[in-house]
Amino acid sequence: MAQKTTDHKDVWSVVSGQESVKLTLTSEIRQIDQTAIEQLGMSGMMLMESAGLRVVESIEAKMGDLRGKRVVIVCGKGNNGGDGFAIARHLSIAGAAVRVFLAASKQDVSGDALAHLRFAEATNVPVTEVVNEGMIGAVEPAIASAHLVVDAMLGTGVSGAPRGMVAKIIPLLNRADAPVVAVDVPSGLNADTGEVAGACVQATWTVTLGLPKRGLLLYPGAAYAGEVYVGDLGIPPALLNGEHLRTNVTTPDIVRAWLPPRKPTAHKGDCGRVLVVGGSAGMLGAALLAGRAALRGGAGLVTLALPQGLNQAAKAALLEATTLPLSETPNQTVDPAALHQIQSLLHRFNALAIGPGISREDGAAAFVRSVVASSVVPTVIDADGILAFAGERREELQKANAPLVLTPHPGEMAALLATRIEEVERDRIATAQQAANECHAVVVLKGARSIVAAPTSPSPLLGKEGQGEVYVNPTGNAGMATGGSGDVLTGLIAALIAQGLDALRAAVVGTYLHGLAGDLAAVEKGQASLIAGDLNEFLPAAFQRVQTLPEERRMTPRLYRLV
């Protein structure tokens, strides 16, 4: 179903103003709430009241004067329903014509939610129980005539497909002509993984509370959440930024803060040297795209090492790079005997990118493994280079003598971990973390909302900073699903490493800028016409966009837009 939209002036700004925003698991946010209640004296009633106010603020900002507006709120029996009752009371006080449907019996409501139910009824808000299919008939016409529908049925603690009356009511919300706002998460969405096991509310926007939940940014959940806003519950920042929270959304500010500076007196040697090793018959373009990205990414010197039969074509196509012709096989792939050529020169470079277009022939795979094993500089491995370590061979990556960054797409990740693509996509964060730990590398799992993960265990090569950190990248679009996009990312990350960023920061910054270049290109060229070369063309604009982020995009105090 197409996402509902509303015409409104966006009064929030894209998340900004701090280095990162944490994403939480259900268990983590539950612990934060419990700590706020037990140690700080905050009550569940207070948190529920704040939740209701944040949602009402979002409604007022989007819809203006609420007097006379017909609002239907569908509540569950738990805390999410309690938020809904608080919303009903505040909307009623503001002059809206509010009607609440409870997908349960009032006798099933308890605790803080029951208190807010009673408060709502004391404000003359009608609350209708929907406990069997015969009662659903009253819900549909109310939704059909509403100016707004609020989903407060299921919260973060629910997993699996919705059941009972909730499962029956969700399709009614999805057929509504009015915008639908979801409280915390759309009902039916797994807040941890973004999975949708059955019926799920298609929200126009979601107001998530305290901290954003992982499932709101990960697909398919992101497609159901609509615009995502984060509402402040008054919980102290120290609890919301605890060291145990290791999953982040990459923001423009963290990218700007980490971008390598360039001194006014800099010369090309100061800006890093990148060696790109790749290419084979029919696959020269992959190496060229990576090399151009390394140049666009700021590297002072870039050298392409590729089978010698491709050398002249490479020199003509990428004038700014130097080339290193390698011994080749009769099939015009790199000969394993070329290893000594790489080993004799590698110490001159600051970063190595290997894999784009190098082929899947056994000899080429053996060459990749030998180069990575002997590399003395940080190494970015992509494409066929990753497949050289598929399955049990991934253990060889643990023996590397330099920091590693792996950039697999889901198919390459499945081969690397000897699993299925469906398993990779089921929980992208957990998959990226597994690969990072098993390969002792920073891993970029590419795709819609790319994931950057660092190993959880200490690594002398990667350092302690960023240990166990995960970053969810908000940039990028479906137009980037085209051959060569990943090669551009490989060269860009290598360039950032060559300029002094560590492996994790280079991967985070590179992934963000790569996606942003795609977004800027899509505005001008459209998604369907986007090609990988456009990403290189728009990288300069992406750098400029981040570096000149205006002050008015800073985060607002109580409610802000996430992405």
How confident is the model over 526-538, as pLDDT tens digits?
A: 999 999 999 999 9
- Whose CA is closest to 152, among 206, 94, 204? 206
Sheet bearing 127-129, strands edge to edge: 127-129, 97-102, 70-75, 148-152, 180-183, 205-209, 227-231, 559-561
Q: Give mean pLDDT, residues 332-345.
A: 95
- In this prediction, residue 461 carries a pLDDT of 74
The token pair at 261 is 């500076």
310 φ, ψ (degrees, to nearest 5): -100, -5
Kindly report, residue by residue over 363-419, the tens digit of the pLDDT.
999 999 999 999 999 999 999 999 999 999 999 999 999 999 999 999 999 999 999
Mean pLDDT lowest among 101-110, 153-162, 303-312, 352-361: 153-162
Kindly report, residue by residue over 104-151, the tens digit of the pLDDT.
999 999 999 999 999 999 999 999 999 999 899 899 999 999 999 999
Ordered by start, the domain boundaries in the chain are: 42-232, 254-548
Q: Is the pLDDT of residue 11 over 60?
A: no
- Whose CA is closest to 370, among 343, 348, 392? 343
Q: Residues of 174-194 as b/e, b for ≥16 C-beta within 10 angstroms? A: bebebbbbbbbbbbbbbbbbb
Mean pLDDT lowest among 7-11, 319-323, 331-335: 7-11
Angle between helices 532-547 and 503-525 (to 10 degrees): 110
CA-to-CA separations, 366 to 34, 342, 510, in angstroms, rounded? 53, 14, 28
Tell me the CATH number for domain 42-232: 3.40.50.10260
Q: Give mean pLDDT, residues 222-235.
A: 93
Query: Do the Cβ atoms of 67 and 78 come closer than 8 Å?
Result: no
Q: Omega into 336 within 30° of 0, i.e. cis?
A: no
- In this prediction, residue 243 carries a pLDDT of 80
pTM: 0.92
Share of the chain above pLDDT 90, in %: 84
Pairing relation of β-strands 205-209 and 180-183? parallel
Tell me the C-alpha distance between 523 and 479, whole Å. 10
Q: Is the pLDDT of residue 555 over 70?
A: no
The token pair at 516 is 């942003």
Tell me the C-alpha distance between 374 and 343, whole Å. 7
Q: Give mean pLDDT, residues 166-194.
A: 96
- In this prediction, residue 464 carries a pLDDT of 62
Element (H, E) at 541: helix 532-547
- In this prediction, residue 8 carries a pLDDT of 31
Q: Give mean pLDDT, residues 543-551.
A: 79
Chain centre distance of CA 308: 40
* CATH 3.40.190.10 holds for 254-548: no
Amino acid identity for residue 508 in this structure: V
The token pair at 31 is 């612990």
Tell me the C-alpha distance between 216 and 279, whole Å. 39
State the residue for tokens 């569950």.
Answer: 76
Q: Give mean pLDDT, residues 358-366.
A: 96
- In this prediction, residue 237 carries a pLDDT of 85
Q: Give mean pLDDT, residues 39-46.
A: 90
Share of the chain above pLDDT 70, in %: 94
- In this prediction, residue 2 carries a pLDDT of 41
Q: Is the pLDDT of residue 19 over 70?
A: no
- Whose CA is closest to 164, among 129, 214, 212, 192? 129
Q: Is the pLDDT of residue 557 over 70?
A: no
- In this prediction, residue 562 carries a pLDDT of 79
- In this prediction, residue 458 carries a pLDDT of 74
Angle between helices 428-439 and 410-417 (to 10 degrees): 50
User: What single DSSP character describes residue 261?
Assistant: P
**Contacts by 240-247 with C-beta closer than 8 Å and gap 24+?**
240/22, 240/32, 240/210, 240/211, 241/22, 242/32, 244/28, 245/22, 245/24, 245/28, 245/211, 246/468, 246/469, 246/470, 247/22, 247/23, 247/24, 247/25, 247/214, 247/429, 247/469, 247/470, 247/471, 247/472
Kindly report, residue by residue over 171-181, the tens digit of the pLDDT.
999 999 999 99
Exposed, middle or buried by CB within 10 Å (0-12, 13-18, 19+), for 70?
middle
Nearby residues of 143 by Cβ (< 8 Å), 6 or more positions away: 72, 149, 172, 173, 175, 176, 178
Our CA angle for 3, 4, 7, nearest 5°, is: 130
